[in-house]
Structure 1
Amino acid sequence: MKQNYPFYLKLSCVLISIVVLGFLAIIGEQIFVPMILGLLVAILLTPLSRFMEKRLRFPRSLSSIVASLLALAIIGGVIYGISMQVAKLSNDWPQFQKQFITLTDDLQSWISKTFGVRRKDQLEYLNDTAKKSISTGTAILESALKSIGYILMLTGFTFLFALFFLLYRTHLLKFLIASFTESYHKTVFEVVHSIQFMVKKYLVGLFLQMIIVTILSLIAYTIIGVKYNFMLAVITGILNILPYIGIFIALVIGALITFATSGISHVLFIVIAIVVIHAIDGNIVMPRVVGSKVKINSLIVIIGLVIGEMLWGIGGMFLTIPVLAILKIIFDRVEGLQSWGFLMGEDDEVPVFKSTFDKYFQMKKAKLKSNEISDSESESVE
């Protein structure tokens, strides 16, 4: 017999669960972020590992190691290419200072003419601001060094987790199935298979989208004549993964670096190029390459991005959509949570509880039809 609990008890359990999960997510950031990233990388590398096992007759351990090392080598090559251009960027620092001084002088003249603020008062304010900035310079440098160390540690642990997920993927699947009663074995297997299929398709589409945006950006930056075009193109392609805000961050970074190495006209061309590339990506590349593999509405995505940033920073924002996709697949398959899966989906999605909607629309059609018949009868009588 199914027991019905009071609403306040259900609500209390849900709220307590959310608070506990949020607390665990915050204190476990250093383990959860690389673990989830490693799981996504392992799902992406599973076809390559299976190919080496079936066609090349590699053992599971060797195929997992080779697949992980290949992916790590590709990412390492991209990071090396970017770091070389970042090192060259430091040579343009004097030019950036010169352009900044010129821009500041023009801005001071404009403020003096428009608002009547004397240049002497402006210089005093700038000097006070500069002293405060210098006092925090050491803290900023320490924070930057910590960020670099965190990225290196995150990359290392991500591929370590990916290696072990590839190595023990069958064992982990058996554990998940064994954790439920026999009546749920088929459902658990379907959920795991759906998650693997959808996430793999989505990640492949996202990777192709990133490559296309990077190539388009590289072509545009080369035509404009921007220095460090490869670095800016890769940054634009990577940040484009973040919905809504990624392209804005790429635009700001591109404008600042272009301002440091070129003129204002190049900055204007960079802004126009990024806006055009974003329009092409949103209307042509995204629908055809990524498509509707992950049907999540924009409201849920925005909420997920905010929560992801609050919990895990930038890493949480990158994990938002894959995690939401996994949750939606689970909600759609579990009875009692299907309404939440429908809430996360698009407006044109057919709900799991379709029979209720069918009955409603059938009654509505029957009522309209009866009204039409009565109207035609009244016209014939007249």
Structure 2
Amino acid sequence: MHKLRKIRHLDLIPILIIAFVLFKLINSTDILSQGLGLFVSIFSYFIWGFAIAYFLNPFMVFIERKTKIKRAFSLVIIYLAFLGVIALILIIIIPRIVDSAKDIISNMPTYLKEADQWLNDFLSKLEPYDEHGITQFVKDNIRDIGEQIGSLLDLSIKNIVTRAIDVTTIVIKFIIGIIISVYMLYDKESFIRSGKRLLIAIFRQRRAQRIINFAKEVNSIFKRFIIGKTIDSLIIGIICFLGLLILGIPYAPLISVIVGVTNMIPYFGPFIGAIPAVVITLFTSKPIMALWVLIFIFLLQQFDGWYLGPKILGDRLGLKPFWVILAIVVGGGAFGIVGMFLGVPTMAVIKLLINRFIQRRLNSEKIQQ
């Protein structure tokens, strides 16, 4: 009996050590962030490779199921299509966006002057009806706002060189990531088998199988969300581009790319995308056109929220709006835009874990009763 109690006490030592380490990590956020940053920096090429392989895997599986061709041929088809899309973006879309951005920046002083003139004229018409001096207050602060926007533009232009260096680093990582992803996809089954064998070696058979099943569910959640949201946002971007062309809005490619990319972020994305779209139109066209753009984007987002999104994504994540917003805020605060995007499926996984835990506890309570 004494020996059994001693063994149980010894079993507590690893748990206490792990708890102490976790406590120190939580209380030393700087060390944690530095360690995480170092890990990401070292394995960034493999993270890029895994991300590309994960994104292309469903398409590879689809081709192999439909055509029954060998892995090497399916990889050739997938990567030719993937690189073709990237080439299309780099040759056609990116230059237009860059030209639009350059044009807006170079003409910004003129746009600000015209906007200032229009607003002053508009406020002058309202002045006879203003008894509280609000119009005069707005007039006094217009110049300060214009100067602040101008200084921000100067600062952004100075940062172009730094950003160019960052982009070069990303391009290098992306190219190496593509090479790594080819090997990951080619030997996918081998990696999966090795992972399963490792789990079975560490855990008991039942626990290992439970972890494998859970990993499959996590994969299903992330795959549906990432692929579905990408297709959804691509369609929204194309519809936005066509709609802006019909309305005769300048810089339609730039605005539609902004709307499509920000649409990847649930809930907040449409609002984030609408703001620059309306501001760009307000500066480069008539104010009434900015109103039309706002109405058009609002209707487009309603179409996405009520029809297109549910049609593509469905309601399989099963998250209430509160939890979606919490996931976006926490994910965005911790990991920026990527965190805002991946926060939603991560929250769905956390919900799945909690539900499983609750269900097991309830089942055990019923058994005991």
TM over 0.5, yes or no?
yes
2:89 matched residue in structure 1: 78
Cα deviation, residue 175, structure 1: 2.2
Cα deviation, residue 243, structure 1: 1.8
1:102 maps onto 2:114 in alignment:
yes
1:199 maps onto 2:210 in alignment:
no
RMSD of aligned alpha carbons: 4.2
1:164 maps onto 2:176 in alignment:
no
1:27 maps onto 2:38 in alignment:
yes
1:178 matched residue in structure 2: 197
Note the alpha carbon deviations across 1:160-195, whole angstroms, 9 max, x for none: 443232123222212221222351342243233333
Alpha-carbon distance between aligned partners in 1 of 2:150 and 2:297, rounded to the nearest angstrom: 36
Unaligned runs of at least 5 residues, structure 2: 128-132
Alpha-carbon distance between aligned partners in 1 of 2:147 and 2:219, rounded to the nearest angstrom: 56
2:259 matched residue in structure 1: 236
Equivalent positions of 1:290-369 (< 5 A) are 290-325=313-348, 327-328=349-350, 332=352, 338-339=353-354, 351=359, 353=361, 355=363
2:56 matched residue in structure 1: 45
Q: Which moved more, 1:130-139 or 1:296-305?
A: 130-139
CA change 1:53–1:105 in 2 (3 A) is closer
Contact 1:235 1:250 in 2 (8 A): yes
Which of the pair is proportionally richer in helix?
2
Aligned residues: 343
CA change 1:26–1:8 in 2 (3 A) is same
Contact 2:232 2:308 in 1 (8 A): yes
Residue identity matched to 2:238: I
Cα deviation, residue 82, structure 1: 2.4
1:148 matched residue in structure 2: 167
CA change 1:56–1:107 in 2 (3 A) is same
Alpha-carbon distance between aligned partners in 2 of 1:286 and 1:253, rounded to the nearest angstrom: 23
Alpha-carbon distance between aligned partners in 2 of 1:269 and 1:127, rounded to the nearest angstrom: 24
Cα deviation, residue 352, structure 1: 5.4
CA change 1:232–1:128 in 2 (3 A) is closer
Alpha-carbon distance between aligned partners in 2 of 1:218 and 1:229, rounded to the nearest angstrom: 6
2:247 matched residue in structure 1: 224
CA change 1:141–1:42 in 2 (3 A) is closer
Alpha-carbon distance between aligned partners in 2 of 1:220 and 1:202, rounded to the nearest angstrom: 26
Alpha-carbon distance between aligned partners in 1 of 2:314 and 2:145, rounded to the nearest angstrom: 50
Cα deviation, residue 292, structure 1: 2.3
Alpha-carbon distance between aligned partners in 2 of 1:148 and 1:171, rounded to the nearest angstrom: 34
Alpha-carbon distance between aligned partners in 2 of 1:357 and 1:270, rounded to the nearest angstrom: 58
Q: Secondary structure at the match of 1:179?
A: helix
CA change 1:10–1:217 in 2 (3 A) is same
- RCO comparison, higher one (Cα < 8 Å, 6+): 1
Note the alpha carbon deviations across 1:272-317, whole angstroms, 9 max, x for none: 1112222221222222221123234444444443444344432333
Alpha-carbon distance between aligned partners in 2 of 1:141 and 1:93, rounded to the nearest angstrom: 12
Contact 2:249 2:289 in 1 (8 A): yes
Q: TM-score, normalised by structure 2?
A: 0.72
Residue identity matched to 1:285: L
Alpha-carbon distance between aligned partners in 1 of 2:366 and 2:238, rounded to the nearest angstrom: 47
Alpha-carbon distance between aligned partners in 1 of 2:293 and 2:150, rounded to the nearest angstrom: 33
Cα deviation, residue 17, structure 1: 5.5
Residue identity matched to 1:313: G
1:67 matched residue in structure 2: 78
Match of 1:274 among 297, 312, 315: 297
Q: TM-score, normalised by structure 1?
A: 0.70
Q: Which moved more, 1:102-111 or 1:198-207?
A: 102-111
Cα deviation, residue 74, structure 1: 1.4
Alpha-carbon distance between aligned partners in 1 of 2:151 and 2:109, rounded to the nearest angstrom: 19
Unaligned runs of at least 5 residues, structure 1: 333-337, 344-349, 360-382
Q: Secondary structure at the match of 2:159?
A: helix
